[in-house]
């Protein structure tokens, strides 16, 4: 389907506006920013980019922006997502370029596509993580991973907004392996774990798994770990592989809906930030309802 001219109604809904899905990355110093701070940065970038975001109705209109699956504060991510509605149709590739140019250092807009049917949050079923552990020998990490995976349960405690909570991490971990090239890459004692973690409630974060490795197998990195989300999306239970959450949009395009824009260059969401970090799959944070 050829793109509609600027200023027309959305061809996917027949209503004013157009819903877009965005994948972005957060790296460098931005990994230490809270979800609330990142969402504010994204909204400022949308304004600077001149993208005509739609607003909710009522006495206190809010931009129609929804955040899904936000990574915890302190970790980097190559696969963060949000959706927003435009007041008029724009080419998704143009929106990607405008947003990326307006983002602060450390946030890169990777891809913008026409939103598919259904909720984006429902398609974010699991995440793949890379956990760098300086000072840990790969063989020690491998032994600890075997102990962890052999356990039926690995309980940890974490302070949440509702107080200190104890929960099992083992059920959420589908795969844990140590990269063979870790020591050679760093030319020092250095282990790198690759994890695939199912999104559950409460959310099991990579630092929870590191805590579980210390408690269950005695693996205690002497310095801070560096954690990066590599992907999140639909989960293949049999293989543990994570699919592209935008792939459903391609299927929609084949049925006559607007086609997906070509991926852009580059890579690495407002309110209710704590809830986003606690339950990445079960909740889709939205400002459409008018709540601050």
- Per residue in 135-167, pLDDT tens? 999 999 999 999 999 999 999 999 877 889 999
pLDDT band at 13 (very low <50, low <70, confident <90, very high): very low
Give pLDDT, residue 41.
94
Asked if the model's pLDDT at residue 125 lies above 70, the reply is yes
Asked if the model's pLDDT at residue 266 lies above 80, the reply is no
Asked if the model's pLDDT at residue 50 lies above 80, the reply is yes
pLDDT band at 286 (very low <50, low <70, confident <90, very high): very low
Give pLDDT, residue 181.
66
Strand, helix or coil at 100? helix
pLDDT band at 248 (very low <50, low <70, confident <90, very high): low
> What's the whole-number average pLDDT of the chain?
81
Asked if the model's pLDDT at residue 175 lies above 80, the reply is yes
Report residue 159 as tokens.
């302070």
Asked if the model's pLDDT at residue 97 lies above 50, the reply is yes
Give pLDDT, residue 261.
39
Asked if the model's pLDDT at residue 134 lies above 60, the reply is yes
Give pLDDT, residue 12.
41
pLDDT band at 237 (very low <50, low <70, confident <90, very high): confident
% of the chain exceeding 90 in pLDDT: 63
pLDDT band at 118 (very low <50, low <70, confident <90, very high): confident
Residues of the chain with CATH 3.30.70.580: 18-122+245-283
Dihedrals φ, ψ of 149, to 5°? -65, -25
β-strand pairing of 284-286 with 65-68:
antiparallel
CA separation for the pair 127, 5 (Å, rounded): 37
Section 23-50 average pLDDT: 94
For 91, which DSSP code? -
Q: Which of 115-124, 173-182, 245-254, 267-276 has the lowest mean pLDDT?
A: 267-276
Report residue 224 as tokens.
């801070």
Report the interhelical angle of 138-150 vs 206-217 (nearest 10°).
90
Topology annotation, domain 18-122+245-283:
Alpha-Beta Plaits (3.30.70)
Section 207-225 average pLDDT: 94
| CATH class of the domain defined by 125-233 | alpha beta
Give pLDDT, residue 253.
44
Section 40-48 average pLDDT: 94
Q: Which of 74-83, 182-191, 212-221 has the lowest mean pLDDT?
A: 182-191
Report residue 240 as tokens.
């543990």
Task: Tally Cβ neighbours within 10 Å of residue 111.
Answer: 22
pLDDT band at 74 (very low <50, low <70, confident <90, very high): very high
Asked if the model's pLDDT at residue 230 lies above 80, the reply is yes
Report residue 19 as tokens.
């819903």
Give pLDDT, residue 274.
38
Cβ atoms of 261 and 112 within 8 Å: the answer is yes
Give pLDDT, residue 250.
56
For 260, which DSSP code? P
pLDDT band at 188 (very low <50, low <70, confident <90, very high): confident
């Amino acid at each position: 389907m050829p793109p509609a001219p600027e200023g027309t109604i959305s061809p996917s809904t027949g209503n004013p506006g157009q819903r877009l899905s965005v994948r972005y990355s957060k790296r460098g110093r931005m990994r230490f920013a809270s979800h609330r701070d990142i969402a504010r940065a994204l909204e400022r970038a949308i304004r600077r980019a001149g993208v005509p975001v739609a607003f909710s109705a009522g006495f206190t209109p809010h931009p129609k922006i929804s955040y899904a699956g936000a990574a915890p504060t302190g970790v980097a991510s190559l696969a963060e997502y949000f959706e927003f509605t435009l007041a008029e149709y724009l080419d998704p590739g143009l929106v990607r370029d405008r947003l990326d140019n307006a983002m602060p250092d450390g946030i890169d807009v990777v891809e913008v596509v026409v939103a598919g049917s259904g909720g984006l949050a429902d398609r974010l079923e699991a995440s793949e993580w890379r956990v760098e552990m300086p000072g840990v020998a790969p063989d020690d990490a491998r032994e600890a991973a075997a102990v962890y995976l052999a356990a039926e349960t690995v309980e940890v405690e974490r302070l949440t907004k509702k107080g200190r909570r104890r929960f099992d991490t083992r059920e959420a971990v589908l795969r844990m392996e140590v990269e063979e090239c870790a020591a050679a890459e760093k030319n020092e004692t250095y282990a790198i774990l690759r994890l695939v973690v199912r999104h559950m409630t409460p959310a099991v974060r990579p630092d929870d798994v590191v805590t579980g490795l210390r408690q269950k197998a005695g693996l205690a990195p002497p310095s801070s770990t560096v954690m990066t989300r590599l992907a999140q999306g639909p989960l293949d239970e049999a293989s543990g592989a994570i699919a592209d959450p935008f792939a459903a949009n391609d299927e929609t395009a084949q049925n006559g809906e607007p086609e997906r824009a070509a991926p852009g260059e580059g890579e690495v969401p407002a309110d209710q930030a704590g809830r986003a970090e606690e339950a990445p799959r079960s909740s889709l944070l939205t400002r459409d309802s008018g709540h601050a």
